[in-house]
């Protein structure tokens, strides 16, 4: 069966089982490997992408739910890595191993799109679904604030 969706601004047609999680459609069928598999149960957030601007965990989102919608992955967040979050992440040296960071940034990007000046509590809430085993949380918090132009 064919599923039509728009990924990072490009129309795509995928010949996959409509129940396939969006994560594996992105990674295996489209070669967009920036979105990561971490748990398969929406517990870690490594697979976070945007569906029409909303945060979804792509590991539990059947690709049929993305039909006719706009999917944004880390590869499409900005044309050249210049999103304020991407810049802040590099400037503050947030990543350690880096594996969870695409998901962290995608969660934070959805937050900033709605709340350009989030409070600490709003940052905590929006990112509590994204695990980091290396323990970069404090720099993540600082980088979100930096990207938002907050002290």
Site string for another protein, 118-147 (x = CB under 8 A): -----xxx-xxxxxxxxxxxxxxx------
Q: Report if residue 96 touches another protein, rule: CB under 8 A.
A: yes
Is 111 strand, coil or helix? helix
Choosing from 3, 5, 14, 35, the residue that interacts with another protein (CB under 8 A) is 35
Closest CA to 144 of 108, 115, 116, 110: 108
Report the 10 Å Cβ neighbour count for 4.
12
Please report how close the Cβ of residue 131 comes to another protein at its closest, in angstroms: 5
Residue 90 in tokens:
């590099």
Q: Which residues contact 76 (CB under 8 A, 6 or more apart)?
A: 7, 8, 9
Binding residues (CB under 8 A) for another protein: these are 8-10, 17, 20-21, 24, 27-41, 43-44, 46, 73-79, 81, 85-86, 89-90, 93, 95-102, 105, 123-125, 127-141
């Amino acid at each position: 069966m064919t599923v039509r969706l728009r990924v990072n601004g490009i129309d795509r047609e995928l010949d996959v089982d409509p129940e396939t999680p969006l994560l594996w459609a992105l990674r295996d069928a489209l070669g967009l490997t920036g979105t990561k598999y971490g748990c398969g149960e929406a517990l870690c957030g490594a697979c976070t992408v945007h569906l029409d601007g909303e945060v979804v965990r792509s590991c539990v989102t059947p690709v049929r739910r993305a039909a006719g919608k706009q999917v944004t992955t880390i590869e499409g967040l900005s044309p050249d890595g210049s999103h304020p979050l991407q810049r802040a992440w590099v400037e503050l040296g947030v990543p350690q191993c880096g594996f969870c960071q695409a998901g962290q940034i995608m969660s934070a990007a959805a937050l900033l799109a709605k709340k350009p000046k989030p409070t600490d509590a709003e940052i905590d809430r929006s990112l509590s679904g994204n695990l980091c085993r290396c323990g970069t949380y404090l720099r993540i918090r600082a980088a979100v604030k930096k990207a938002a132009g907050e002290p």
